[in-house]
Structures are given as structure tokens and as C-alpha cells.
């Protein structure tokens, strides 16, 4: 029941990744898929509809992330000129204070 070689060939035939290949076969059709070893056999199974390429959607977090970034960019905290040291600290704030050594 290992269909990894069939999926690999199907991915190459369908010009997609292995994760996008779905084999929708059961019973007699599954034996037919297992026996398919050549590209021509795989192409025939694709034409029959036993092997399909699934459509990948855009991840939902992209829209959320973009909306969140816009909200942060437009907030008064980042736009205030007084907070310039908050965004890019002054050099004296980045380096630790030099303390005198006891001799």
C-alpha cells in the first residue's frame, strides 16, 4: 500500500509538490494505482480522475498580520516625535555608564 513512488511521479507530471497530490481511489482502483509504474500510467490515472492536484489556499494569518502591522504603524505611540528615543535609543542610552574603579 506504499504509494510514495506513484505520488512522486504524479507530482512531477502535475508540476506540483508531493504534498499537493491526492489519490482518490478505493478497492479495484487502488490496485490500478499500485500497479502504475510509468509516467504514461500516471497520466492515464490523472485523466480518469483517480489522482488529483489539490488547490492550495492563501494562509489566513497573512491578512491578519497585515491588519495588525497597519494598526501598530498608525498608532500615536509610534508617530509621536517625542518617542524617537524609544524607537532608536540614543547612543548614551545604549552603552552602559562608565564607573570609576577604586584604586
pLDDT surpasses 60 at 73: no
| Residues paired with 82 in a beta bridge | none
In a domain, 102, yes or no: no
Could you tell me the pTM of the whole model?
A: 0.55
Q: What mean pLDDT is predicted for residues 62-81?
A: 58
CA–CA gap between residue 40 and residue 9 (Å, rounded): 10
Same domain, 72 and 41: no
Q: What mean pLDDT is predicted for residues 65-78?
A: 59
pLDDT surpasses 80 at 54: yes
Q: Where is average pLDDT lowest: 5-14, 37-46, 88-97?
A: 88-97
pLDDT surpasses 70 at 67: no
The H or E element spanning position 30 is helix 28-35
Residue with grid cell 508531493, as numbered in its chain? 18
CA dihedral 30, 31, 35, 40 (to 10 degrees): -50
Domain span at residue 8 reads: 4-53
Same domain, 13 and 35: yes
Same domain, 8 and 49: yes
Nearest to 87 by CA among 95, 79, 99, 98: 79
Same domain, 10 and 49: yes
Give how many domains the chain has, as a whole number: 2
- Residue 60 confidence (pLDDT): 62
Max CA pair span of the chain: 91
Amino acid at each position: 500500500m506504499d504509494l510514495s513512488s506513484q505520488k512522486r511521479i504524479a507530482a512531477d507530471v502535475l508540476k506540483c509538490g508531493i504534498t499537493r497530490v491526492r489519490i482518490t481511489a478505493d478497492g479495484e482502483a487502488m490496485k490500478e494505482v499500485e500497479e502504475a509504474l510509468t509516467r504514461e500510467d500516471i497520466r492515464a490515472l490523472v485523466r480518469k480522475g483517480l489522482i488529483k492536484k489539490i488547490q492550495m489556499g492563501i494562509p489566513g494569518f497573512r491578512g491578519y498580520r497585515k491588519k495588525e502591522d497597519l494598526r501598530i504603524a498608525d498608532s500615536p505611540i509610534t508617530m509621536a516625535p517625542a518617542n524617537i528615543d524609544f524607537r532608536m535609543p540614543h547612543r548614551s542610552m545604549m552603552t552602559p555608564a562608565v564607573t570609576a574603579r577604586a584604586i
